[in-house]
Structure 1
């Protein structure tokens, strides 16, 4: 029986790992859930476990916050002894957060197969920490599980072998489809006095948007203008809340971060979504909801070609103009290839096939912790 360690660290990871673990366990694989604790408070972690029915982690590393170097180093130090104890055949990492990179490096050096879910995503913007994480994780991974055709093209261009790249679809869509009916029964719209398609939804958390005072001021000016025409609901990320300093644009309802089901309920009912989140770009495409991405680039270009997403940058005039156009004439959407809610089965097929056919040495057979490299 294959032993597969599945790593989560931050809120975006949770909705990706749940369907994969379900599919693996259904086929008899031994799965071990390792939570690094990169996101650790209730609003950013616990409520997602509850909403999605994710079982309690088998190991919790309790890393917490810190600089990129601190998080990456502490996660590696904490994960290494767990890896050596568990000796997994495969370590599955998802997305592009610091935990993803840390655990991929430990597993690769330890001799386990490393499988990266959402491999091949590229924004082309090396100033984004997530972009550096994506590139580095793909490079040390053995199994590259790709969400869309453009990701496959990126990996081909970077020289990856065809026998290590697999187009499996977007596993976030699996979670979305599995929970959409539950989300639609949530009372959050009535609690907030909202009606379907009569409000907009906002998310902002990227450092490039919220840490730069000039950029943040421009975005708030745009939200102020759009909010005068359409009520906006803004669940505020903790890093963003600290930088708002009490500023609230007109027509914008600021609220604490939401759980998965409540957020999807709002996302599904919104007339338009304004965001800098990659995951939200993908989810709105699956839902057919108009989305304005407040960035100059995206790691999900497929959502701008086949989805409902439009890159508008941070210029207030462009954002307001695009919002007016989208509200007047919502874009038509087609679903990207294999975004069908069955990505988890394809991922499980690949992982179990690789685990049983690999002739690599058992993890830690040749692993030493005292080497000078």
Structure 2
């Protein structure tokens, strides 16, 4: 059954929210750090049905981010298969209501998986100048993007994995659309809403959510769509060679991840958080592009290297660029045209002086996970 049908008729609650006009490009707030793109399953990834009808594309930015809960039973199945099935279930229920597609733009499953909801929403937020009109908040859909957090949070709160993903996804949306954190609201805060969504327990944590999103916007957050191959994003519960390499590097640097067994457990997460804290960037316990870039260049002395140079410093530079940017770059220690182009692209993306030379500014950005 649709959450909106379950909760209809309940009086709207919540604090006074300032509602304004759409944020224009000229008034976009300046955020101090880069929030990496989250690892979001697209509608194709989770097997969505085709939308039944047109989905309006609004060629402006939303003014608000609306948080919901699905009111589903709080499942202990945190698998990817369960996440995909939840996305399909929501779509079926919403289309049964007569809607053209899933109502919300994004979903966060119990295991923390982030999924695209309404078709086109992922591409739109990456673009940052448009959004797909949803059907998640009656009377406010043409002003807002919605995130459904799977579960019932009247008395319980989302899982730790869901919370981490919600902070990351919310920060990314705020960054792409130029939203201030005070524009993150619950469904119950929408003008005229007759619902207790997102549940009393969850609603009580929204001030903490805004604070953590503000911190992410100021300091950055990792855990996004890391480069495939040598530098995949790894987090608590993951296993494999990439986890082992993180563990070994952390141990050499002076943080204790426990036995380098390739299992990302609590000790590894604790050590990684300590390392990220020393970097002075976002602390999320996830080894994504920014953290990998810092790890890959940690031992570099940081001398200036330029086209035609060769040696260990160049190899560290190439590894850092490959890890942080996902560029297809040989790590052969030879500073050729490809490396120069990768350096220039990295500098441009980070707002650094673009000269294709790895000097103090570029090394500092890489080694501090920027």
Task: Tell whether the structures are fold-level matches, with TM greater than 0.5.
Answer: no
Greater Cα radius of gyration, structure 1 or 2: 2
Higher helix share: 1
TM-score (norm 2): 0.30
Higher strand share: 1
